[in-house]
A = this chain, B = another copy of it.
Amino acid sequence: MYNRVALIGLGLIASSMFWAMKRAGVAGEVTGYARSDATRQTARDIGLCDRVCDTAAEACEGADLVVLCVPVGAMGDVAAEIRPVLAPGATVSDVGSVKRAVIEAVGPHIPEGVHFIPAHPLAGTEQSGPTSGFAELFDNRWNLIVPVPGSDEAAIERLERFWQALGANTERMDADHHDLVLAVTSHTPHLIAYTMVGVADDLRRVTDSEVIKYSAAGFRDFTRIAASDPTMWRDVFLTNKDATLEILGRFTEELFALQRAIRMGDGDHLHEYFTHTRAIRRGIIEAGQDTDAPDFGRKPKRDA
């Protein structure tokens, strides 16, 4: 589907893309680059990428698809660095969690004749780094393709077929709507999870070891997403500031209403609210976006 794919940044998403490309047989040579020596060495040790290069430009030379897999805040610099080697007809894409900021940072560096097609695969785990990837990560997950004005239709369709071969469903979306949808389904939930875990860690009257021991009562679900990569998430909040702050405002308003219902002893309000939220869960199970195994199918360990 592409003769040479260059992966810039070798974390969870890039490494999963590599294994998914190998599974699907959709790429000729896959080159890779990571800024840190240690990451490049790990990649070589585990056979991640057909060729690991010591500069981003070297990895991109001759590539017909370049995928930027670095934190959103680093995308602009990387684009500037690879600009000289981008050949006409090549496609540059990315996997960043924010799209408007990536378009603004990367767009100006894209040479005439090169196709720039931002994208965002909605898939991930709480783990990060070159060893965390696996071929199935994108299976039945959505990849939002965010074409910019003037994007070439044939190049977009080629990228869509590529992601479908990696297991994903694709859909096109406008950048600003993408950033709002993700503020709801991802960015605000992550911030709230980080906050809750931070609060628990910071209380004097309840110890960390109590929080850890008794986490199965609900708290542990928050710790999973609050264990995500700190650099990636710092950049997400800094670059999707407006939409995140808007949803946070709505969240706080709603939380205060529930808080007031608790204070006033308004059980009907609470019961009605809690009944309503069950329906969304059912929709997610039916859409195949989560497991209906009780408790995520967790198997307790007897010997732990």
Interface locus among A33-41, A107-115, A118-126, A155-163: A118-126
Residues of B within 8 A of A127 (CB): 294
Of all A-B residue pairs in the complex, the 8 with the closest CB atoms, nearest first, are: A288-B304, A186-B217, A230-B274, A125-B294, A227-B281, A139-B300, A125-B295, A296-B296
Q: List 26 A-B contacts (CB under 8 A).
A: A97-B217, A122-B214, A122-B217, A126-B295, A139-B300, A140-B302, A141-B216, A180-B205, A180-B206, A185-B200, A187-B218, A188-B196, A189-B218, A193-B218, A194-B274, A216-B289, A223-B284, A230-B278, A233-B270, A238-B267, A238-B270, A244-B262, A245-B259, A248-B255, A289-B304, A296-B296
A290 to B304 Cα, complex, angstroms: 10
Given A233-B274, A277-B223, the answer on whether A300 and B208 have CB atoms closer than 8 Å is: no
With a cutoff of 8 Å between Cβ atoms, the chain B residues found around residue A186 in the complex are 214, 217-219
User: For window 153-200 of chain A, which residues contact chain B by CB distance below 8 Å?
Assistant: 167, 171, 180-182, 184-200
Contact of A185 among B214, B224, B302 (CB under 8 A): B214
Q: How far is the CA of A288 from the CA of B214 in the complex (A)?
A: 11
Q: How far is the CB of A254 from chain B (nearest CB, A)?
A: 5
CB pair A258–B195 under 8 Å, yes or no, is yes
Q: Which of B139, B141, B185, B278 contacts A211 (CB 8 A)?
A: B185
A220 lies within 8 A of chain B by Cβ: yes
* Given A241-B262, A277-B201; A221-B218 close (CB under 8 Å): no
Give Cα distance in the complex from A252 to B235, angstroms: 22
Contact between chains at A218 and B212 (CB < 8 Å): no
Q: What copy number does this chain have within its complex? A: 2
Which of chain A's residues 14-34 have a Cβ closer than 8 Å to chain B?
none
Give chain B nearest CB distance to A65 CB in angstroms: 23
User: Closest B-chain residue to A233, C-beta based?
Assistant: B274
Most B CB contacts (10 A, CB to CB) among A132, A202, A211 go to: A211
